[in-house]
Amino acid sequence: MESTLDPSFFNQINLPAEATNDMSTSISQLKEDLAIANQILANEGVFDGFGHISVRHPDNPERFFIARSMAPASVTAQDIVECDLNGDVHDAQGRKSYLERFIHSAIFKKRPDVNSVVHSHSPAIIPFGVTGARLRPICHMSGFLGSNVPTFEIRNTLGESSDMLIRNQSIGESLADTLGQNTVALLRGHGNVVVANSIQLAVFRAYYTEGNAKLQAEAMRMSFSMGAGEPIYLSEDEARNSAETNAGQVERPWNVWKSKLPKL
Q: What's the pLDDT score for residue 20?
A: 47
Active-site positions?
100
Distance between CA atoms of residues 72 and 262, nearest Å: 13
Q: Name the CATH superfamily, with its identifier, for domain 21-256.
A: Class II aldolase/adducin N-terminal domain (3.40.225.10)
- Cβ atoms 202, 116 nearer than 8 A: yes
The pLDDT assigned to 3 comes to 53
Task: Give the predicted TM-score (pTM) of the model.
Answer: 0.90
Q: At a CB cut-off of 8 Å and minimum separation 6, what does 188 contact?
A: 129, 130, 151, 152, 153, 154
pLDDT 10s per residue in the chain (264 long)? 445 566 665 666 644 444 445 434 699 999 999 999 999 999 999 999 999 999 999 999 999 999 999 999 999 999 999 999 999 999 878 888 999 999 999 999 999 999 999 999 989 999 999 998 999 999 999 999 998 899 999 999 999 999 999 999 999 999 999 999 999 999 999 999 999 999 999 999 999 999 999 999 999 999 888 877 889 999 999 999 999 999 999 999 999 999 999 986
Q: Rounded to the nearest 5°, which phi and psi values hold at 118?
A: -120, 135
84 CB-contact burial (10 Å; exposed 0-12 / middle 13-18 / buried 19+): middle
d(CA 32, CA 9): 29
- Cite the DSSP H helix spans in 44-198: 102-110, 126-131, 155-158, 169-179
Between helix 251-259 and helix 27-43 the angle, nearest 10°, is 70
Helix axes 251-259, 199-225, angle to 10 degrees: 90
**pLDDT tens readout for residues 73-101:** 999 999 999 999 999 999 878 888 999 99
Domain locations in the chain? 21-256
Whole-number Å distance between alpha carbons of 216 and 222 = 10
